[in-house]
Structure 1
Amino acid sequence: MENTGHLLIVDDDRDIRTLLAEHLKNFGYEVTTADGGGEMRKALEKRAADLIVLDLNMPKEDGLTLIRELRSKPNSPPIIMLTARAEPIDRIVGLEMGADDYLAKPFEPRELLARIRSVMRRSAQMPSNLEPLAAKRAHFGEWTLDFEHRRLEASEGRVVMLSGSEFRLVRALVDHSNKVLSREQLLTLVSPRGGTGDSLDRAIDLQVSRLRQKLGSETGALIRTVRNEGYVLAAPVTFE
């Protein structure tokens, strides 16, 4: 069977790790498992993963902490988080911190397989604008977006670090500058899960609000709200 990618499953429950590994191997994936953050780091030192399936609720280091750590590094892989928590805010926080999708326990392994395929397919897609693809930086207003280090640099030299989801949001706005993007479009660009659920819409609104604060533009001078339509980066962008 043709290899379809290397997956890393991080979950403190041995039975779940074993079940998922066996199921996914049947569909051509190479699978490595880890019982927590320590084993995850060792596994990634040995071999990069094409996608990480990460349990949110683990005893030593919780999944949110690990998502933040993973997203602080350049070229981090897509992440699907597993959660037994019922509160939507936990899923929102996970998505804000950089998870690409989530799945609530208990779940069918087939559903996880479908999510993995969807996330990896979208991750492999090339942007239609080849100029941003080849660029290392984008300049807009008084800011420079560093693609490699996933951070913003102000004209006076101040550096602003971004979470994974904040980086993907500003990257989407930069790549489509002066074009209005609906919440649904932003969800598709920022999170492969996409969708139009209220909790995910609120996540986009919250991310935009936080990004405006980091840009020092709470009034929306750079990222403008277009009523009943969405958001737009109202500034010319140059790439280098």
Structure 2
Amino acid sequence: MIFSRGTIEGIAVALAAHGLIPRGGFRFASDEAAPAGLSGAPAKCALLVGQAGAAPWPHFQRWLAGQPPQAIANPLDTWSRAVIGAVAQEFGARMVSPSDRPYLPFQQWAMRAERLKPSPLGVLMHPQYGLWHAYRGALLFEEEIFLPEPHQTIHLCDTCADKPCLKSCPVDAYSEQRFGHHACLSHVRGPRGEPCRAGGCLDRNACPYGAAYRYPPEVQAFHMAAFARL
């Protein structure tokens, strides 16, 4: 059995009610150690779910307003699991999350599904969304589903000579070779880190691509606060 194009369209409609979108998919090779599907048998296909820009934010905020104060340690992850899990149940799939332990190779899956490559910041560069997108989960199917072939894309970072994303951080946390996690975290938590806490990573905001999808300051502040608690 192969689920038709209508299955993907139905999933897209269900996700759109929460500001989420399908983010491409792929078929596991016959000799690949695929994760389990809904029944425990190896999955045949994966369909990634995520966002472009901050479209889920108002949906998430409405949900969060109905939760007891400080009752959820990771509210965005909890919301994503609930929403994507309900869609998975509706379409006979198993939902998995980037935060599941042991970790699943979500970045490799995304590169496989959408043919994207990492930016110097590690975030995958999208030809339309720039750095302003995310993956919130995946649906694993034990049956074949219709999956459009991903388009070959230009890696925008290869066309960017100035690399402003490597020149805006006050503590030079990012370089071509590494991410200075300790330096970044210390700065964000310290007295000089207020611009980062209020408006997000300065290096990420310096990237000129996908500006129309840039997260608003309150969304970036939310993510930065989550990072600073690590």
Fold agreement, TM-score > 0.5: no
Structure with the higher strand share, 1 or 2: 1
Higher relative contact order (CA 8 A, sep 6+): 2
